Amino acid sequence: MSKVLQLATAKFDYVVATDCTYIDPDGSTPDDDHFMTACAGLCHENTRCFVTFEDRGTVLRNNFLAAAHTKFHYVKEMHRNELPQHYQLAHIDVWELRL
């Protein structure tokens, strides 16, 4: 339990996450609200949270962004040319989120 408390009170400079690990019980759509709650819970006012999002359709993207905007004040897609060459994938978006 002490490790959990350490994580809960730590102040991270960066959080790196991917949305495809949070799936709802029927396996059809990500559980974006819980995912964003977990991301926001690891952040403080100076944390930069980078989240990858695999392009799986407009509805899922809109749900992802709606959940991001409920937890974070700053939601910005990073341009692919800002990323190292081997991270510039057409089907993966990278978002920077800040409280």
Could you report the per-residue pLDDT of 10-37, keeping only the tens digit for each? 789 999 998 775 555 665 666 788 889 9
User: For residues 22 and 32, is the Cβ–Cβ distance under 8 A?
Assistant: yes
Quick one: average pLDDT of 74-78?
96
Provide the whole-model pTM. Answer: 0.82
Confidence band for 68, pLDDT divided at 50, 70 and 90: very high
Distance in angstroms (rounded) separating the CA atoms of residues 47 and 99: 8
Strand partners of residue 51: 17, 95
